[in-house]
């Protein structure tokens, strides 16, 4: 494993899952309890926009990482998370299908309570990102 790949692997956020919500798999990022509470306390009851950027990092050898940057219009919150697309492809497939993203904490029963839902306004951007991710992953299978 190259040094750069090892460095990226060490930065990966492992709290990534999906949950069933009305028959749809919703992608969910689990944040530690303190971070989740901090975000919710700053945005609760406020009208806000959340800019969601997906920066795709790939090495041409089939290793794909996605940096998700959530920028909240209120509360001066910017959350950056690195996800290993090789391991969590279903997360991105669900994101492209639903254009929804949930934030929760491990102590929550995600899908039932303490879930902060984000509607992504431009589904075509997520669909395009998924295509890039899947093309990058295919390179790994051609070896």
- For 43-52, write each residue's pLDDT tens digit: 888 888 999 9
* Local structure of residue 95 (DSSP, 8 states): H
Q: What is the pLDDT of residue 94?
A: 95
Domain count, the chain: 1
The per-residue pLDDT for 112 is 56
What is the predicted pLDDT for the residue at 107? 74
Name every residue whose Cβ is closer than 8 Å to that of residue 127 and which is 6 or more positions away in sequence: 96
At residue 96's C-alpha, the angle toward residues 61 and 106, to 5°, is 90
Tell me the C-alpha distance between 107 and 26, whole Å.
Answer: 18
pLDDT, residue 55, reads 93
Kindly list the strands in the beta sheet with 100-104, ordered across the sheet, starting from the edge strand earlier in the chain.
16-21, 24-30, 100-104, 116-119
Phi-psi region at 139: left, alpha or beta (left = phi > 0; alpha = psi -120 to 50): alpha
Output the pTM of the full model.
Answer: 0.87
Compute the average pLDDT of residues 30-56.
90
Q: Structural domain of residue 17, as residue ranges?
A: 3-141
pLDDT in tens, 105-141: 877 655 456 889 999 888 888 898 899 999 888 866 6
Mean pLDDT across 47-75: 90
* pLDDT at 77 > cutoff 70: yes
> Could you tell me the CA-to-CA distances from 119 to 28, 42, 44, 48, 67 in Å, in that order?
12, 19, 16, 12, 18
Residue 66: how many CB atoms within 10 A of its CB? 23
């Amino acid at each position: 494993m190259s040094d750069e790949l090892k460095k990226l692997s060490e930065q990966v956020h492992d709290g990534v899952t999906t949950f069933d919500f009305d028959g749809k798999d919703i992608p969910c990022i689990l944040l530690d309890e303190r971070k989740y509470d901090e975000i919710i306390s700053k945005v609760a009851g406020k009208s806000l926009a959340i800019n969601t950027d997906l920066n795709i990092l790939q090495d041409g050898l089939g290793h794909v990482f996605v940096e998700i940057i959530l920028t909240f219009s209120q509360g001066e919150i910017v959350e950056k998370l690195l996800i290993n697309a090789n391991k969590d492809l279903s997360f991105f497939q669900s994101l492209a299908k639903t254009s929804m993203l949930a934030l929760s904490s491990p102590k929550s029963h995600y899908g039932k309570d303490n879930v902060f839902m984000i509607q992504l306004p431009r589904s075509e951007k997520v669909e395009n990102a998924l295509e890039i991710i899947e093309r990058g992953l295919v390179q790994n299978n051609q070896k």
